[in-house]
Amino acid sequence: MTSDIDFEFLLEESLKIHGHLCPGQVLGVRMSVLGLRAVGIEDPRGRDRKNLFVFVELDRCATDAIQSVTGCSLGRRTMKFMDYGKMAATFLNQKTGRAVRVIVKEESRQTAEEYFPEIENKYSAQLEAYKVIPNDALFDVMEVSVKLNPEDMPGRPIRRVQCDNCGECVQDLREVCRRGKILCRPCAGSGYYEHTRRDIF
């Protein structure tokens, strides 16, 4: 793990984004430090910022910490959310092609309780234990191969088309072609919303 001073600083910075300190913040900071070191990224917010890409697999607390440490974000298109429901993240050094996936071991909760049996509150025990449990007892790290498509890269959209049904524009090859029509995903039947009323303002 990084030095105590660096770790505490990174935790404080992540707290500013997330709003409160929790076990997920500790895990996210530690996952980031481990992943960055494994792929050879030393300065993710500075000279290495254009080389780093992160995939997060869970939309919970750790993701805010990962964003804070790495500087990667959805808006910059340097972070991708993969809705897998797993406490895992993959760190990709685009310059070298090296990628590692860091996943929190399932037994980490039990391990945390064993580290601080005197703390009755499991949440508090996890918070403190996740700061000191050795990496190999807390995480599985695996080398992986990741392919980034041109439409997923940062920068200007590579294409913009209009949905033949609703008229809304779709960027970066996210459209669906069906029976000769160009459709956005909601009009093709895979939207998260359903229109109830238009022009309410």
Of 29, 27, 74, which is closest to residue 53 (Cα–Cα)? 74
Structure tokens at 14: 């992540």
Q: Does residue 2 register a pLDDT over 80?
A: no
**pLDDT band for position 124 (50/70/90)?**
confident
Query: What average pLDDT does this structure show over 95-109?
Result: 94
Predicted local confidence at residue 5, as pLDDT: 55
Please name the residue ranges forming H helices in the chain.
Answer: 4-18, 23-39, 61-70, 108-115, 122-132, 135-138
Q: Does residue 16 register a pLDDT over 70?
A: yes
Q: Which amino acid is at 66?
A: I
**pLDDT band for position 111 (50/70/90)?**
confident
Report long-range pairs for 119-127 (Cβ below 8 Å, ≥24 apart): 123/22, 123/23, 126/23, 127/21, 127/22, 127/23, 127/26
Query: What average pLDDT does this structure show over 180-191?
Result: 92
Quick one: what percent of the chain has pLDDT higher than 70? 97
Segment 133-163, tens digit of pLDDT: 999 999 999 999 999 888 888 888 889 999 9
**Rounded Cα gap, residues 138 and 102, in angstroms:** 10
Predicted local confidence at residue 99, as pLDDT: 97
Predicted local confidence at residue 123, as pLDDT: 84
Other beta carbons less than 10 A from residue 127's beta carbon: 20
Residue 91 CB partners (closer than 8 Å, separation 6+): 32, 35, 36, 38, 39, 41, 52, 53, 54, 70, 99, 100, 102
**Rounded Cα gap, residues 144 and 92, in angstroms:** 9
- The CATH 3.30.1330.130 domain(s) of the chain lie at 4-150
Predicted local confidence at residue 155, as pLDDT: 85
Is residue 41 within 8 Å of residue 71, measured between CB atoms? no
Got the DSSP string for 20-52? S--HHHHHHHHHHHHHHHHHT-S-TTTTTTTTE
Domain 4-150: give its CATH architecture.
2-Layer Sandwich (3.30)
**pTM beyond cutoff 0.75:** yes
Structure tokens at 153: 């890269």
